[in-house]
Structure 1
Amino acid sequence: MNIQWFPGHMAKTRRLIAENLKLVDVIIELLDARIPFSSRNPEINSLVNNKPRLVAFNKSDLADEQISKHWVQWYASQGIRCILINSINGKGLNEVKSRARELMSEKIERDRAKGKLFTPVRTMVVGIPNVGKSSFINKIVGKATAVTGDRPGVTRGKQWIRINSEMELLDTPGILWPKFEDLEVGMNLAFTGAIKDDIMDISEVAMELLVRLSRAYPAELCTRFKLEPDSIISMEPLELLETVARKRGCIVSKGQIDYSRISAIVLDEFRGGKIGRITLERPGDREDTLTGTPT
């Protein structure tokens, strides 16, 4: 299934980012820890140019802990420091603030030499839809300032938010890119909710997710849906979805499968971490480079 979604407000967001770059000192780029490659918008590199950048893996509590460590090590080998964060409980957010301050240390010292004793760090938060930007901002600020939602496309305009006397944030709407050249990237974005469900065949998405989980996380899949490990190996995608549907009682009249209901259940339980801590990509799965000046 070829998934594409680029509504008009995202084109406006690209212009918004470009137009406001001169106002900020540091870029905070949020990635989804479950899909560290697919959640990286390749256009961000050219948009932010050479601005100092922090890379933060959000939703780290939903991702496979060991694979997240491998990703951090992999990025470190490329000279990029990544921070694992959880925007719900605040894990890693203090490190984000201190690291952003460190990136501005030279500018702060120059200002002090000129007699300016206080220099707030102005940051811009960027990331794909539904990566948790609004939750990140609300947690780091300490109150519900940005609009949040569990669906992509909630934040539509820019807004400056003061964290404290030392830092300000410029929030921007989530931004995808006009065309997904890699079909697997589009599917990963669909799995995690970065693309609206109502533009896709969610049964097809759910079937593909079940196949992926049966290969990479068979124990977690079988435990959650009460499946037999030996049986799922030989199942076709549709058969696997129907088996899960029967286990959950998603049956309508005359014993027919309620495909919409079971597909929604599979996607919701994956996105909510109920199946387990899962990462769909591993370092080395594909060639990846990051330009610019993240640290």
Structure 2
Amino acid sequence: MGLTDNYKLNLIQWYPGHIAKAEKNLKEQLSRVDVVFEVRDARIPLATHHPQIDEWVGNKARILVLNRLDMIPPQVRSLWIDYFQNRGEVPYCTNAQHGQGVVGVAKAAQAAGVELNQRRRDRGMLPRAVRAVVIGFPNVGKSALINRLLGKRVVESAARPGVTRQLRWVRISDQLELLDAPGVIPVKLGNQEAAVKLAICDDIGQASYDNQLVAAALIDLVNSLQEQAGELLPKSPLYARYELDPTPHTGEGYLHALAEYRHKGDVERTARHLLTDYRKGLLGTLPLELPPM
């Protein structure tokens, strides 16, 4: 039984006009870019992979960044690094909020610049700054990464998906110019299982989902990951936080039981509380995806 079987189909839908416009602007700018930083959420590296990115990147250099590394256990991070390396990609793990891992990302961009300018010299052209773009879903930490690369805050970064609206070039150094692009969401997320994870992690706009359904899905997901690979996860995260055992319940059943136990039966408040706890890391370092074996 899939994660979304017991939820309404197409539970999560959106496509705000500004994202459609952002995508169009981004495509126009991409021809001027040499390097693409693809930022994903380390809790859900597969769900935060944009289906069009391969087509957008084409033959440009791509640097894969797994952000929020502080929100998953070290052994899960190692598994993801192996998974991507086996597929010929080098993932850079960052916690952009605190600047961890950002130096590695900057060096990767510089290396791409050296290569670019060697090619330009070979063709008798003058060297120039490498132009990079940061692409990813809303709220995966792109603005925090850009601020860290710059060493100062220029990009408004807010815990509200879709704050970055305009495209603008930011000069990082003599060697690097960065195009800050708004978060891009696929036109439609055919994969509802991925959509639910994006909603849980707050990587899409809030108007597009129902808190209770998404919180119930989070509980089901945590329970199934505990069964699958409990040794990789914090021990009984829901029980540890709420002192209520989730094992006898479905996600929906647990949400209602927890509402009775904690919030006088207020299911909506319980759902919001649970999602906020997860997003703030209060359930521990809890990934929602593990690399496919």
Match of 1:250 in 2: 263
Match of 1:127 in 2: 136
Match of 1:235 in 2: 249
Preserved contact between residue 218 and residue 251 of structure 2 (Cα < 8 Å) = no
Preserved contact between residue 128 and residue 175 of structure 2 (Cα < 8 Å) = yes
**AA partner of residue 272 (structure 1):** K
| Deviation at residue 184 of structure 1 after TM alignment | 0.6
**AA partner of residue 191 (structure 1):** I
| CA RMSD, 1 decimal | 1.8
Preserved contact between residue 34 and residue 64 of structure 1 (Cα < 8 Å) = no
Preserved contact between residue 65 and residue 277 of structure 1 (Cα < 8 Å) = no
TM-score scaled by structure 2? 0.88
Q: Which of the residues 151, 162, 178 maps onto 1:153?
A: 162
- Confirm or deny that 1:89 pairs with 2:98: yes
Preserved contact between residue 169 and residue 178 of structure 2 (Cα < 8 Å) = yes
**Correspondence 1:5-44 to 2 at 5 A:** 5-44=14-53
- Matches of 2:116 and 2:250 in 1, distance apart? 59
Deviations 1:60-103 (A, max 9, x none): 11123212211111111111111101111111111001111112
Match of 2:73 in 1: 64
**AA partner of residue 130 (structure 1):** N
TM-score scaled by structure 1? 0.88
Preserved contact between residue 237 and residue 283 of structure 2 (Cα < 8 Å) = yes
- Matches of 2:73 and 2:181 in 1, distance apart? 28
| Deviation at residue 196 of structure 1 after TM alignment | 2.3
Deviation >3 Å, runs of 4+: 110-116
Match of 1:292 in 2: none
**AA partner of residue 226 (structure 1):** E
Match of 1:288 in 2: none
- Matches of 2:44 and 2:179 in 1, distance apart? 25
**Correspondence 1:170-181 to 2 at 5 A:** 170-181=179-190
Match of 2:118 in 1: 109
**Secondary structure of the structure 2 residue equivalent to 1:38:** coil
Q: Which runs of 5+ in 1 are unaligned?
A: 252-256, 286-295
Deviations 1:147-171 (A, max 9, x none): 1111111111101111222211100
**Correspondence 1:155-234 to 2 at 5 A:** 155-217=164-226, 219-228=236-245, 232-234=246-248
**Paired-residue identity, %:** 33
Q: Which moved more, 1:16-25 or 1:167-176?
A: 16-25
- Matches of 2:260 and 2:117 in 1, distance apart? 62
